[in-house]
């Protein structure tokens, strides 16, 4: 198969990360969770008690941040930080870090380096617009906010954290607003991206739909 870049964007809770991961496996491509970078930086900011307005220190952390993906788990050096970066504290603060222009530039540079070496499936919020505007395939996932909230609640329960559905909805609305209105790399659909409503889809259906789209366009390479 030729080296390709597949960009999957959309708000939180649309299933883009799981879809991207499973799609990468089917296509034998590298999966990159761009959000994991921002979450790891946020986790380190919290862990080191760095003030949100101390841009210089946050930049230093971002430049040194080097995560790896191993069997559905995320490592910072030798430390498995998968559960730490998915917790409520990081989730509620990640947008304040990811909106910083300098941080987005640093993360985008790391993402482009990965993609320059091999084919990738990468998910995020501005992958098809800012990071890889010339991606081979672009998809933008959407979903009803209550369905998104139910999915996110299950994620928290899997981590042993309880939170009400109403609170999750409010947090999702707040994050959507921050992500859509930020100056650099806002959450939005690329003009040439295909919009996919996942409200009534299970993950396997999402993966199958995207896979068939790519298959039909690259039948010779994927046979």
158 — phi, psi (to 5°)? -65, -25
Enumerate residues 6+ apart whose C-beta is below 8 A from 158: none
- Mean pLDDT (whole number) for 152-159: 90
Domains of the chain are: 5-207 (3.40.50.300)
The contacts of residue 4 (CB under 8 Å, 6+ apart) are: 29, 119, 136, 137, 218
State pLDDT tens for residues 71-85.
Answer: 678 999 899 999 999
Task: Say which residues have a Cβ less than 8 Å from residue 20's Cβ, sequence separation at least 6.
Answer: 6, 8, 31, 33, 121, 122, 123
What letter does residue 194 receive in the DSSP assignment? E
Res. 28 pLDDT band, cuts 50 70 90: very high
Least confidently predicted of 2-6, 8-12, 14-18, 89-93: 2-6
Distance of alpha carbon 186 from alpha carbon 179, whole angstroms: 6
Q: What is the pLDDT of residue 221?
A: 54
Per-residue model confidence (pLDDT) at position 222: 44
- How far from chain centre, in Å, is Cα 222? 25
When pLDDT is averaged across residues 133-138 and rounded to a whole number, the result is 97
Nearest to 34, CA basis, from 129, 122, 134: 122
pLDDT grade for 185, boundaries at 50, 70 and 90:
confident
Alpha-carbon distance values, 182 to 72, 134, 222 (Å): 30, 22, 38
Residue 194 pLDDT > 90: yes
Comparing CA positions, the residue from 38, 56, 43 lying closest to residue 111 is 38
Beta-bridge partners for 8: 123, 139
């Amino acid at each position: 198969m030729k080296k390709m870049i597949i960009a999957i964007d959309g708000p939180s809770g649309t299933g883009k990360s799981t879809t991207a991961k499973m799609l990468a496996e089917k296509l034998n491509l590298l999966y990159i969770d761009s959000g994991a970078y921002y979450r790891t930086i946020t986790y380190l900011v919290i862990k080191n008690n760095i003030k949100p307005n101390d841009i210089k220190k946050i930049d230093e952390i971002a430049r040194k941040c080097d995560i790896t993906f191993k069997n559905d788990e995320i490592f910072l050096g030798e430390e498995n930080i998968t559960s730490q970066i998915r917790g409520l504290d990081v989730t509620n603060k990640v947008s304040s870090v990811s909106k910083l222009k300098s941080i987005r530039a640093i993360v985008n540079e790391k993402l482009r380096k990965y993609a320059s070496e091999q084919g990738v499936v990468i998910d995020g919020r501005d992958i098809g617009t800012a990071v890889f505007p010339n991606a081979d395939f672009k998809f933008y996932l959407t979903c009803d906010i209550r369905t998104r909230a139910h999915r996110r609640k299950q994620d928290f329960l899997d981590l042993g954290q309880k939170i009400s559905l109403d609170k999750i909805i409010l947090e999702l609305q707040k994050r959507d607003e921050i992500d859509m209105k930020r100056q650099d790399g806002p959450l939005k659909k690329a003009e040439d991206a295909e919009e996919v409503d996942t409200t009534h889809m299970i993950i396997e259906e999402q993966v199958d739909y995207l896979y068939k789209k790519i298959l039909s366009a690259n039948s010779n390479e994927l046979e």
